Structure 1
């Protein structure tokens, strides 16, 4: 998928940042600790200089004339609760809107796995109660700064969001996100917060538009309008009527084609609901990640009819990239920095990866000559979830073809489908001891 910059190009700033942070010659080859596949701790698990490396939001961007207060409600945020691209998009979009003068906050579950040193200025804002399944759950709301963005962390006193990772805890995830969706609105009501826009993301927050229009607008929330972004149409938030009722709504009234029924289950007993569909129907505007994906979703899949009915409020906006955060001229994670006018550091970074994965000989690094031979071999890196929509057949073909042509390829990812995972484990066993292919099934 193509991306576009969230901020205008600023070549001068890149050069200044490069000089301040150090270049490939500033680092010096003799100062680099070169990795080895035999290291007890692989290079990608070693300590890095900082948890949150995002630079300050740029202040020299032209400000919008009509400024708004925007609250993102999301299950992920980079870098503190990142699983896939959702976290990157939320952080990048929030920073871009901040740079253009808007007031922006992110509301995020306070997952147990979040390390508090990743957050600056963390303070307890509010103690309040939020409803779940007939009970009012004592809940804490904290405020902190991550990547220069104000973040509101929602922490219920029950078992929700406990575990060593963002997803896959011992609690019922569907019920946890239903609770989170209501808890965010409850916090806004308790604190008198009335943003212009509540921006929800993916199925995890799909119940929030239903709760807003059918409950909280009848209480005290009147001002906000709802924007929903679809990042991945593969996950629908399948939900039984009685599960939706646990957040205080009557699940049975949403089991219609014009609301939230999962069209694939019509006529079945019982019929299911889809939180993603409900979010689409009840949002004032719906956005997806590109004009191309918009066309795809309008022409395929069971949600196409819902999206067609919502066509006047459905938009495809190309994902952006935060050119300040993803800047190799100042990136603290890289062994050497580089930019377009000074690309030498990129050669060092490539060799660093090759050395760490056993794709290059562990020669004594006495000068630049040692880099020449590995650099003549093209290195292809594929970092992805191993799911059908990513083109698995193209990945497996690329592995075979690259090796045949004498290139090198690294694939980093995991599959949720056990059959796909087994297939790539077989490919890893076949290729990983050779000189040109590394398949690392560890990315989540």
Structure 2
């Protein structure tokens, strides 16, 4: 096969705009595909504040009339990004209350771009593409919990698609249109972001109501573990750290620990959690375990934004325990790098986890993680070797994991974690194989 031209379609992509792991993946995968003969371009909405050079426009139908979306282009880190300018994205953030309408509009416009052999659609925001274009589509599920549910009368008015698609073998889902279901049913190939998650979502416990659909389409489903951008996440050349370090010379990690303690006022040993504040991520379990963790002599650093109740509880915990709890309620790349390097252990007690990047970053920075044995956490943390797994989704399970990690010795676990290969090289080869299958 000659050089393959692929268009990755998503809501976000690092370094232009990032809310979570989806942005990291979409930004890093094209660089890893390039040496394999894949010419990958990324398409995202032209979100507010993004700068790009206008290179054309795209005409597409919406609500029975033709609309025109200006098209921008920008190259970052050797990756070509295209940006579609739609009025729905001129205000507000990447995600919001009107997401259904504006991401349907985005998919309709995206389907009109030409010159690509294959489309790689990511999450529900781009799940409509297999129904709109004759170009083969690979569809990647990053989080099955967010499916893109719409009222059928709105969906069919916006898209002009035939209402005959509204049945249980296609788009219908308990009386609503389910965009993610459409992506699963109509794409040539479906992937998830870890092998274990691909198995889990075919069960009622993790399937979010789509386990039957996924079992039916299991022949085209594959789990491919995410990688890390090892240029961005590299303690040997990280500009956010006070000193570089590596498995061969880990001395700079002590300087990172000292810097984190100075910045936060926390006493060691420091447990860190860098995450979206969400029940899925198990931050409520961390809060429930906090009194016992403090009693045992641990300090806690948490960074992230999300549910107001969790933000409020973490803020109150910091005020109640100065020098023992520090909460930074904002997205801050520099602080995140320092915390990954400067903490003594990393907490990721997710109730479910499609892949997760935090546990991989922590290992690369020599900070052993304590994780629940689910999804990508189970696939990336070697229990008792580079970190610790626990099974019970309960504060006692988390406490057990923390105590076991410190009995095993975080320094030895950390050094072994730094030696693991979390690069995109292997995952990129797996995606190339899926692309070949989708292209027949």
Alignment of 1:40-439 (within 5 A): 67-114=3-50, 116=51, 122-156=52-86, 159-168=87-96, 172-188=98-114, 193=115, 195-212=116-133, 217=134, 224-250=135-161, 252-262=163-173, 265=174, 271-300=175-204, 301-359=208-266, 377-416=268-307, 421-432=308-319, 433-439=321-327
Change (3 A) 1:180 1:424: closer
Q: Residues 25-57 of structure 1, C-alpha deviation per residue, up to 9 Å, x if partnerless?
A: xxxxxxxxxxxxxxxxxxxxxxxxxxxxxxxxx
Q: Residues 246 and 356 from structure 1, CA distance in 2 versus in 1: closer, same or farther, beyond 3 angstroms?
A: farther
**Distance in 1, Cα, partners of 2:35 & 2:300:** 38
Runs of 5+ in structure 1 lacking a partner?
1-64, 117-121, 218-223, 266-270, 360-373
After superposition, the C-alpha distances for 1:36-91 in whole angstroms (9 at most, x for unaligned) are xxxxxxxxxxxxxxxxxxxxxxxxxxxxx764211100001012211011001111
Instruction: Please state how far the C-alpha of 1:379 moved relative to its aligned partner.
Output: 1.8
> Cα distance, 1:164 vs. partner?
4.9
Q: Is the 8 A contact 1:110 1:153 kept in 2?
A: yes
CA distance in 2 between partners of 1:128 and 1:197 (Å):
18
Normalised TM-score (structure 1): 0.69
Larger Rg: 1
Give the 3 Å change call, closer, same or farther, for CA 155–423 of structure 1 in structure 2.
closer
| Unaligned ranges ≥5, structure 2 | 333-440
Q: Which residue of structure 2 lines up, in the alignment, with residue 21 of structure 1?
A: none
State the alpha-carbon separation in 2 of the partners of residues 129 and 409 from structure 1.
52
- How far off is 1:134 after superposition? 2.6
By relative contact order (CA 8 Å, sep 6+), the higher-ranking structure is 1
- Aligned CA RMSD, in angstroms, stands at 2.1
Specify the alignment match of 1:55 in structure 2. Answer: none
Post-superposition CA distance 1:227-255 (Å, at most 9, x none):
00001011110011222224433362222
* CA displacement at 1:206 relative to structure 2: 1.2
